[in-house]
Amino acid sequence: MVNRVIMGLGLGVGMATLAAAGLPGTAFAAKQQHQPVSILPEPTPQPSPAAQPSSAPQIQPAPVATPSPTATPTPTPPAPTTPMVLPIDEPVMAWTMDDAKALLGVIEKIGADGLIPADYQPEKLRTAMLAGPGAELDAQASRAFAWLAEDMRDGRTRMQSRLQWYVVDKDVETNSITGLMTAALANHDVAGTIAGLAPTHPDYEALKALYAATPKANKAARALIQVNLDRWRWLPREMGKYYLLTNLPEFQLRLTVDNSIIRSYRTVVGKPGKTATPNLAETVEAVVFNPTWTVPQSIVVGEGLGARLAGNPRQAAREGYKVTKNKDGTYLVVQQPGDNNSLGRMKIDMPNPHAIYLHDTPSKALFNTPVRAYSHGCVRTERAVELGMTMAILGAGLTPEQAVQYNLSGKYTKVPMTKTFPVYLTYFTMATGIDGKMGKFADIYGRDVPVLASFAKPREAWNGQRITSEKVIKLDNPL
């Protein structure tokens, strides 16, 4: 029975594909308990992370009290009141003429990456070089290198132009400007140091090739490519060996191994406006089979659901809700597991201040529409049960049989991850689609406009800000 369900869900093919991608075979076939393995590459230059626990994953059954679907063992971080800021790192070091010439050569060719050579003051660098080695050359070359390295590492677009951007790129910590400049001058390899900051995802090179092939007279097309090249620089240079990535305007989610798509899933994302899905980079904490949903007070009170169900317990039971009256007179309404649950049969927990997560849905017809921006912010995922089972196998060491059993039980079951598995909610309007072809996607949230405007103006100095200063909106309504 279990094997038939596995094959019916498409997991038989999926597991073979994943095994071929280099995943441990015992994670898919063996019925014994597994030793958890780190699925992220060893970070450089930071020290290796602590070893993962060696015990098998402990499955958390539903607690006696009705659990909240967003409750997790680790408290949700508070919404930031001020943007995250780091001190500016612009050292001044001694430059030889050869290193300065190498830097000038890099600046003159940096247009290939969609950056603007004039931003890095090549004329001032040439003037300083004419004066020979000394304080003037040191100051100008150091400044130009710092600005160029910042933009290659983090992107040229400043945070005020990155709408709903909450991804914290840790490349700032692993590749400081001081460290980069020291290495470049010690090794006399300015070009290699700058080139080493480019994103490793193959889409970056694909966009560069498209940019080179686009006539300079086609300014609108080139500007759009510039914007999307820069968006890759906003993300971590290395995404990880295994990760989930959704391109919001494409309405697709990818399960990715070594930057190659193993499985893809259609998505439904937030409606434009206050419920637009933000850009995030989070970590999967758990897969929840047969989740509950705690109805937000905007519905409990605003739409009178609490009072209506409290006055008719039979109707509440028929509709799958449990209603509790609090001491202050308010109502707690929790939708119980089942096919009609607003989260469907699966939820992927990824704690964040916005209460965004990936989940199943009973409204599967929407996956067949071409434009799928209907949700209140969370990402509804096609074939979500299959995805959840795969995540439980990859991230918690379950066998396919165990994953199917938890799903078929009909009971709330939370499977904590024992491996680190990143999730990226990205926004690309020019990108390689799941069909492998480069294409243009509609700017559903209007996020291209401020980035295009920033590229039309002179470069702004980086002020150390790392995420948008926009107010965090908690989007905990999957309806």
Burial class (CB in 10 A: 0-12, 13-18, 19+), 445: buried
Answer whether 0.75 is exceeded by the pTM: yes
Helix (H) or strand (E) holding 270: strand 260-270
pLDDT given for residue 87 in this prediction: 76
- pLDDT at position 64 over 80: no
Residue-level pLDDT at 117: 98
Please give the backbone phi and psi of residue 279, each rounded to the nearest 5 degrees, phi first. Answer: -90, 125
Name residue 425's beta-bridge partners: 246, 280
What does the pLDDT read at residue 252? 97
pLDDT at 73 over 60: no
Q: Is the pLDDT of residue 306 over 80?
A: yes
Tokens matching residue 295: 């109805």
Before 45, cis peptide (omega within 30)?
yes
pLDDT in tens, 388-404: 999 999 889 999 999 99
Classified by CATH at the fold level, domain 58-79+240-426 comes out as L,D-transpeptidase catalytic domain-like (2.40.440)
3-state secondary structure (DSSP) of residue 331: strand
Domain with CATH 2.40.440.10 in the chain: 58-79+240-426
Where is mean pLDDT largest: 290-304, 309-323, 451-465?
451-465
pLDDT-derived band of residue 75, with 50, 70 and 90 as boundaries? very low
Q: Give 273 or 85, the one with higher predicted confidence.
A: 273
Does the pLDDT of residue 461 top 60, yes or no?
yes
Q: Please say whether the beta carbons of 413 and 402 come within 8 A.
A: no
> What's the pLDDT score for residue 47?
35
- Phi-psi group of 240: left, alpha or beta (phi > 0 → left; psi -120 to 50 → alpha; rest → beta): left
For residue 270, what are its two tokens?
């937030």
Q: pLDDT for 36-56, tens place per residue?
A: 333 333 434 433 333 333 334
Under 8 Å between Cβ of 295 and 301: no
β-bridge partners, 266: 252
